[in-house]
């Protein structure tokens, strides 16, 4: 995206190839499996020490942020309209669950497909530009869905939202009625989404994405259709956001207009930037921090949440641009004597932290 990124990407392969294997800290693959183990253990034990609906919120927002990071961290595209896919899927999932009574994974699948179908034309138009233009165009298109949902009251309930979204699962009451068990029923879908994102990042497709991010002109010269890759990753990212949004809707039992508002798009960007751009683990940590912080503020009766989240955003962007995960990873890297990257957008190492 910028001149500096190309320089860094040029030095990067050499750096990883010369392979100080892990430095002072375990080997790379050992570290990866260890992290994965800790992550899974945390995901499985979360509802035991956190109120289960909040645990589900964290899981949904984590997948949402992973979806956004797929786009921002690996394709270098900042989407400010992802609420359209998260919220759009939430509405479709809710409607399918209410009107057709399908088992919940099928309702979520319907929402996900809707999000991807919606993302195709938006991605096609937005991908004509990158950088700041992309952010503004996706923001405006995302807001379009907000107006549609707000106007189409008969179907969506307008400002009242979509009430009474049921969880249907073959009449198994524990899952249908208790948030604690629904968490475990929904978790496999969330983990599947995250695994998919990880696969995309570590596939040849993912490598091409990084190339289109670091040097679109060179990628084009090598014969890759940059716009096509951007649209494809946009649709995949929207699908994952839709998966997260659909589960979120079921977990809450209703869908509010807030889910398609641009503030939600902004929130997922905040979660991703806070956790660390270009690190899928960071997105998960960011989600945990923001959901817990908002829950804490709301239960403390503080009504100006934006004051805190806005201030957090400003501080992170000014001082910790590589996010929580990136800052810690850099600290570890510095201790083992490696070169540290500071500019996170478009320059994050796709291998970092995974």
Partner 1 sequence: MNSFLQYTVQGLAAGSFYALAALGLAIIFGVLGVVNFAHGACYMLGAIVAARLQDLIGLDFWLALIVVPILMFIFGVAIERLLVSRLIQLDPLYNFLLTFGLTLLLVDLVKRQYGVSGLPYARPEILSGQFSVGDVRLPVFQVFVFVFSLLVCAAVWLLMTRTRIGMIVRASTEKPDLTRSLGVDVGRWVTPVFGFGIALAGLAGVLASPFRAITADMGSNFIIILFAVVVIGGLGSIVGAVVAGFLVGLVEAFGQAYAPQLSQIMIFMLMAAVILWRPAGLFGREETA
Residues in contact with partner 1 by the rule CB under 8 A:
1-2, 78, 125, 128-133, 135-137, 139-141, 143-144, 147-148, 151, 216-217, 262-263, 266, 269-270, 273, 303-307, 309-314, 317-318, 321, 343, 345-346
Q: How far is the CB of 234 from partner 1 (least distance, A)?
A: 15
With tokens 């939430």, the residue in question is 90
- Taking the complex as a whole, the smallest distance from the CB of residue 87 to partner 1 amounts, in Å, to 15
Q: Which residues contact 25 (CB under 8 A, 6 or more apart)?
A: 31, 332, 336
> Minimum Å distance from CB 258 to partner 1?
12
1 or 292: CB nearest partner 1? 1
In the bound state with partner 1, the residue whose beta carbon lies nearer, of 135 and 185, is 135
Question: How many Å apart are CA 212 and CA 214, to the nearest integer?
Answer: 6
Q: How far, in Å, are 26, 28, 276, 328, 341 from residue 21 at the CA level?
A: 8, 7, 23, 19, 19
Task: Say how many C-beta atoms besides its own lie within 10 A of residue 46's C-beta.
Answer: 18
Which has the closest alpha carbon to 124: 35, 224, 39, 225? 225
- Cβ proximity to partner 1: between 80 and 281 the closer is 80
Closer by beta carbon to partner 1, 169 or else 294: 294
Nearer to partner 1, 225 or 336 (CB): 225
313's tokens? 């955003």
| Least distance (Å) between residue 342 CB and partner 1 | 9
Minimum distance of partner 1 from residue 53's CB (angstroms): 24
Distances (CA, A) of 144 to 171, 236, 249, 327: 37, 20, 20, 36
Q: Is 259 helix (H, G, I), strand (E, B) or coil?
A: helix
For partner 1, the closer of residues 37 and 306 by Cβ is: 306
CB of 217 to partner 1, least distance (A): 8
Residues near 200 by beta carbon (within 8 Å), at least 6 away in sequence:
70, 74, 206, 233, 236
């Amino acid at each position: 995206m910028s001149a500096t990124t190309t320089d860094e990407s040029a030095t990067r392969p050499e750096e990883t190839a010369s392979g100080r294997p892990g430095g002072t800290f375990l080997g790379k693959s050992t570290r990866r499996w260890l992290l994965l183990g800790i992550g899974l253990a945390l995901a499985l034990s979360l509802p035991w020490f956190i109120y289960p609906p909040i645990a589900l919120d964290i899981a949904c927002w984590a997948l949402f942020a992973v979806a956004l990071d797929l786009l921002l961290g690996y394709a270098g595209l900042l989407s400010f309209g992802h609420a359209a896919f998260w919220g759009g899927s939430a509405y479709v999932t809710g409607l399918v669950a209410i009107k057709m009574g399908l088992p919940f994974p099928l309702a979520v699948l319907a929402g996900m497909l809707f999000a991807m179908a919606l993302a195709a034309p938006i991605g096609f138009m937005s991908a004509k530009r990158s950088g700041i233009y992309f952010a503004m165009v996706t923001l405006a298109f995302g807001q379009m869905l907000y107006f549609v949902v707000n106007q189409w009251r008969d179907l969506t309930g307008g400002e009242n939202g979509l009430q009474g979204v049921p969880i249907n699962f073959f009449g198994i009451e524990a899952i249908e009625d208790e948030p604690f068990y629904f968490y475990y029923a929904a978790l496999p879908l969330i983990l599947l989404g995250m695994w998919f994102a990880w696969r995309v990042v570590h596939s040849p497709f993912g490598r091409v994405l990084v190339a289109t991010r670091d040097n679109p002109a060179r990628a084009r010269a090598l014969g890759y259709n940059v716009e096509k890759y951007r649209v494809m990753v946009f649709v995949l990212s929207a699908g994952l956001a839709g998966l997260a949004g659909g589960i979120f809707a079921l977990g809450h039992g209703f869908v509010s207009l807030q889910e398609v508002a641009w503030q939600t798009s902004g929130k997922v960007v905040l979660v991703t930037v806070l956790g660390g751009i270009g690190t899928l683990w960071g997105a998960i940590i960011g989600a945990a921090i923001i959901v817990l912080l908002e829950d804490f503020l709301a239960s403390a009766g503080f009504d100006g949440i934006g004051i805190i989240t806005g201030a957090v955003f400003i501080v992170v962007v000014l001082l910790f641009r590589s996010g929580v995960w990136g800052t810690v990873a850099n600290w570890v890297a510095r201790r083992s004597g490696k070169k540290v990257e500071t500019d996170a957008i478009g320059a994050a190492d796709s291998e970092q932290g995974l």
